[in-house]
Every structure is written in structure tokens, then in C-alpha cells.
């Protein structure tokens, strides 16, 4: 069963393979087929079993080719020679790298690797420290906006309002009036923040902390009305007032968070609860009409009130989480993806802006409620009776900041990663030594080139 020579030009290789080699290869293949059968029975997994079956089929195909004489001996010789060369190379590497003194040669062996590490790492989402610092500053500003209602001095708020016409800590404000639109409080000097009666183009603000003195009797009554007695026309609602309303709701009726409720900022009246949530929680008991149908206006106000409170709280918690992540990114890298935390922050910030509109709606008509809410004209709001609740332009600050946090990684230009050969500025040679070092380096190269000649 001699091999027919297929490659006449390289016949020297084929002459090294004879009938004795054919017989030995046939016996070897039979033995390997039996060994694979035993391995298939002892295979620990279906994956290994299928892999061994494929190897057995390959051995059988080789055996058939060997019996028929349809294989090329040159190919077998070349494959065995290449395998021997690879084994020899591995043995030499193992002997070479087993010696600790040959560590430098082991490191240099990676020079011929066909993997472009530099190109790969330049595709990573690296922006340097500037982008996460900007995102951290934006997050701190948003957190301050949520807390500013508790710590902002009234004098600064009033001076900023007199100069710019904006309430720096206000989300929205509702209008006061006579009869049912007026509120009776204790005459302690703890007046709510809002717009006062205007006289000679100047608001007649009462001094905070001092009780009201009746100009006719020159005495301080026990109770006063905000609109009729004090001249307060509107009451401002900020994010902290909404959070404080949460502690007055039935959700926390049986739970008291002493570490928060005992603090001074949490003391006093929550005007969001007094104006909207108190009536919403009382009317929810009359959700069904006499005919068994649902009064959806009551349900909408109830859900809108709790939705506003929880949206503000969730947005604040997300901001704290984003602050921690952005500080960590200063020392790592910033992803180019659109992050789910920023999506959620934007979503709940928008809900905190829109949901209060449904607290002042009449019936179930959503269009007029939104139209009367997005007014942005203080004069029109104060003169027309149909407007009872108006949104402040600064209420869009959390939503705008969340949108910036979401899109900034997409806007910033991706920075290339510094190469591993980058030399820090402090380790660079002095400028007067650079020319001398260049001369030495080029001189060595020149002498080496001349010595070859």
C-alpha cells in the first residue's frame, strides 16, 4: 500500500514515507479510535461527548483514506514536521523562561503580538477629569436647589427678587383672596414667604419674627388672616415645603422620623399640605358617587399630590447617587452611554413640575388646568380670577440640569488615551540638556552605521 507520489518537484519528502509507515499509522488510528470510544463513555458532559464524537469521525475518515491510498504523504510529512517544530519551540521557551534571570526576554517576547492595544484603548470612553468635574458641579447646584428653601436667608431671597423679579427657591405659588381663599394663622410672626400688598410700587412686607399689630387697636390679636389682615397675596411653594408636606400625610401618620422632624427647618406649617394635600386626603373617602361611579377629579388630585411629593424625594435621592458616581468618575472615566440614572432624574424632575397643575384643576379637564398653570405672567395671574396656581420659571432648573447631565457625555469630544510611553512633566530633561542628549543619541547611531561598513 505504497503512497503514490503527488508532488514530483518535492519528491525527496515523499520518499521518506513507505509502506511500513502506512501500517504503523493504520494501527495507530485503530488504537486512537478505541481510546476515543472509551472517552465518550466516560465523558462528563454532552459538550465533551459531541467533541469526542467529532474527533472519532475524523480518525475514521483518515483510516479510510489510508486504506484506499487516496491521501497525500507530503501533507502528512509537512504537518508532522510543523508540529515537531512547534513542540521544540515551546520546549525552548519553557526552558528559557523558567530561569528568573531571563525575565527581560520574557517581557520582550510580547513585542511580536498582533494586538493593537493603543487602538483598542482609544475606543474606550475616556474624557479626562474636566467632564466629570462639570457634571459634579451641576449635580451640586441641583442638590442646593432642592435644599435652598430650608437654609436660604429671607433677606437675600427678597433682595434677589427685588432686583431680578424671580423667586430663587420657588417651584410654584398659589393666590390668596377673601373668604375661602384666605387662611387664619397664629400671630407669632412666622409668616409664609410670598408676595405682599403693593403700595407706591413697593411691597409692604411685615417684619418676620414680630407679631402683627392692629393699626386701629394697637394690640396684637391672637390670630390673623393672611390676606385680609397681613396683606399677603400669594404663598410660594419650594421643594423643601413639598418634602415637609410628606410628614403631614397619612402615609407617615403612624411613623415618625425623629432625626428629621425634630430639626428646626421641618417645624412649622407646610403650605402645600395645607392648601392641597389636606383636602385631597379628606375627599378620597368620597371617591364613589351615590350611583357607584368614581369621581375621577378627586382621584386625580390625590394621585397628583402624592406624585408631586414622591417625585421630589426620588429626584433628590437620585441626585445624591449621581453626585457620588460623578466624583468617582473624576478618578476613573466617564461613559459615553445615556445612563438610566439620568433618565430617571429627568423623568421625576419633569413630573415634579407638571403634577401640581392637576391639584388646582376643576373637574377632569386637563387642558384648561395646564393652560392656567403655565402662565408666567405675574400681572395677568394677579388680575384674573381664573388663575389660582402659577408655575415659576426656576422650576425647570432640576429638569434642565438632569437633561445636561444626560447629554454632556454625547456633546464632549472624546479624548485620546495617553500613551504608555508618556513622560510626566517633572521627569522630562531640562531644555538646555535636550540638545546634548540628541547629539549623543544621533552620534551613537552614526557610529554604529559606520562600523557596519
157 forms beta bridges with: none
Residues 380/387, Cβ–Cβ less than 8 Å: yes
381 in Cβ contact with 372 (< 8 Å): no
CA atoms of 205 and 225, how far apart (whole Å): 15
pTM for this structure? 0.63
More confident residue, 16 or 156: 156
Residue 312 pLDDT > 90: yes
pLDDT of residue 440: 59
The residue among 168, 170, 176, 167 whose CA lies nearest residue 197 is: 176
Q: Name the DSSP class of 5.
A: P
Q: Return d(Cα 137, Cα 144) in angstroms, integer.
A: 11
So what's the pLDDT on residue 11?
46
Q: Report which DSSP code applies to 196.
A: B
Question: What residues have CB less than 8 Å from 11, skipping those under 6 apart?
Answer: 5
Cβ atoms 394, 168 nearer than 8 A: yes
CA distance 83 to 25: 16
Range of lowest pLDDT (48-62, 102-116, 284-298, 332-346) = 102-116
> How are the residues of the chain apportioned to helix, strand and coil, as percentages rounded to the nearest 5?
60, 5, 30
Q: Tell me what pLDDT residue 419 has.
A: 56
CA 85 to mean position of chain CA atoms: 53
Calpha distance 29→8 (Å, rounded): 28
Over residues 24-38, the pLDDT tens digits come to: 878 888 888 888 888
Helices within 331-425 (DSSP H only): 340-354, 366-373, 378-383, 397-411
Strand-pairing partners, residue 198, are 203
Percent above pLDDT 70 for the chain: 76
> Residues 434, 438, 444, 447: is their CA dihedral positive or negative?
negative
Looking at residue 398, its pLDDT comes to 92
Cα–Cα dist 342/400, whole Å:
11
Torsion of CA 360, 362, 368, 374, to 10 degrees: -10
Instruction: Burial-class residue 100 by CB neighbours within 10 Å (0-12, 13-18, 19+).
Output: exposed
Cβ-proximal residues to 307 (8 Å cutoff; 6+ apart), any chain = 351, 355
Q: Positive or negative, the Cα torsion across 443, 444, 449, 453? A: positive
So what's the pLDDT on residue 291? 77
Cα 379 to Cα 367: distance, rounded to the nearest angstrom: 22
Q: Among 44-53, 279-288, 417-426, which stretch is predicted with the lowest mean pLDDT?
A: 417-426
H helix runs in 18-72, sequence order: 19-41, 46-68
Distance of alpha carbon 406 from alpha carbon 339, whole angstroms: 7
Look at residue 161 and tell me whether its pLDDT is greater than 60.
yes
Q: In the numeric block, which cell numbers belong to residue 407?
A: 447629554
Per residue in 57-91, pLDDT (tens digit) is 888 888 888 787 776 666 666 666 666 676 677 77
C-alpha cell at 334: 466617564
Please report the pLDDT score of residue 15 as a whole number.
54
pLDDT (mean) for 355-377? 85
CA-CA distances (angstroms) from residue 261 to 153, 246, 247, 265?
21, 11, 8, 8
Residue 2 CB coordination number (10 Å): 10
Mean pLDDT confidence for 127-131 = 78
What are the angstrom distances between the C-alpha of 81 and each of 1, 84, 89?
A: 23, 5, 12
Count other Cβ atoms within 10 Å, centred on residue 268: 12
Amino acid at each position: 500500500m505504497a503512497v503514490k507520489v503527488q508532488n514530483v518537484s518535492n519528491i525527496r519528502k515523499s520518499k521518506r514515507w513507505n509502506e511500513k509507515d502506512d501500517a504503523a499509522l493504520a494501527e495507530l488510528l485503530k488504537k486512537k479510535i478505541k481510546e476515543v470510544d472509551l472517552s465518550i463513555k466516560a465523558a462528563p458532559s454532552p459538550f465533551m461527548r459531541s467533541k469526542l464524537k467529532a474527533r472519532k469521525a475524523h480518525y475514521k475518515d483518515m483510516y479510510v483514506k489510508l486504506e484506499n491510498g487516496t491521501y497525500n504523504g507530503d501533507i502528512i510529512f509537512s504537518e508532522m514536521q510543523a508540529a515537531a517544530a512547534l513542540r521544540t519551540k515551546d520546549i525552548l521557551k519553557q526552558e528559557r523562561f523558567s530561569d528568573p534571570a531571563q525575565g527581560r526576554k520574557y517581557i520582550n517576547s510580547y513585542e511580536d503580538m498582533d494586538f493593537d492595544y493603543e487602538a483598542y484603548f482609544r475606543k474606550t470612553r475616556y474624557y479626562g477629569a474636566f467632564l466629570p468635574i462639570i457634571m459634579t458641579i451641576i449635580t451640586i447646584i441641583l442638590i442646593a436647589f432642592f435644599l435652598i428653601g430650608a437654609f436660604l436667608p429671607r433677606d437675600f431671597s427678597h433682595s434677589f427678587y427685588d432686583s431680578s423679579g424671580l423667586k430663587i427657591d420657588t417651584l410654584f405659588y398659589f393666590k390668596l383672596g377673601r373668604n375661602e381663599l384666605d387662611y387664619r394663622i397664629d400671630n407669632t410672626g412666622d409668616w409664609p414667604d410670598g408676595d405682599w400688598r403693593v403700595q407706591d410700587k413697593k411691597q409692604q412686607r411685615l417684619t418676620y419674627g414680630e407679631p402683627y399689630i392692629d393699626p386701629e387697636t394697637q394690640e396684637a390679636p391672637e390670630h390673623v388672616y393672611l390676606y385680609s389682615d397681613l396683606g399677603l397675596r400669594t404663598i410660594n411653594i419650594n421643594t423643601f415645603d413639598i418634602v415637609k408636606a410628606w410628614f403631614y400625610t397619612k402615609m407617615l401618620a403612624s411613623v415618625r422620623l425623629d432625626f428629621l422632624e425634630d430639626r428646626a427647618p421641618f417645624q412649622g406649617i407646610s403650605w402645600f399640605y395645607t392648601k392641597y394635600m389636606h383636602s385631597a386626603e379628606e375627599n378620597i373617602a368620597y371617591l364613589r358617587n351615590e350611583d357607584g361611579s368614581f369621581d375621577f377629579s378627586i382621584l386625580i388630585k390625590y394621585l397628583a399630590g402624592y406624585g408631586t411629593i414622591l417625585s421630589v424625594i426620588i429626584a433628590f435621592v437620585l441626585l445624591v447617587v449621581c453626585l457620588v458616581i460623578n466624583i468617582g468618575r473624576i478618578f476613573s472615566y466617564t461613559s459615553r452611554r445615556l445612563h438610566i440614572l439620568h433618565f430617571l432624574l429627568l423623568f421625576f424632575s419633569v413630573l415634579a413640575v407638571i403634577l401640581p397643575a392637576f391639584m388646582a384643576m376643576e373637574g377632569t379637564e386637563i387642558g384648561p388646568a395646564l393652560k392656567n398653570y403655565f402662565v408666567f405672567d405675574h400681572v395677568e395671574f394677579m388680575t384674573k380670577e381664573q388663575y389660582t396656581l402659577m408655575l415659576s420659571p426656576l422650576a425647570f432648573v432640576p429638569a434642565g440640569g438632569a437633561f445636561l447631565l444626560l447629554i454632556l457625555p454625547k456633546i464632549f469630544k472624546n479624548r485620546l488615551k495617553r500613551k504608555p510611553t508618556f513622560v510626566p512633566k517633572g521627569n522630562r530633561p531640562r531644555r538646555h540638556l535636550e540638545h546634548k542628549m540628541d547629539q549623543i543619541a544621533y552620534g551613537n547611531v552614526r557610529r554604529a552605521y559606520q562600523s557596519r561598513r
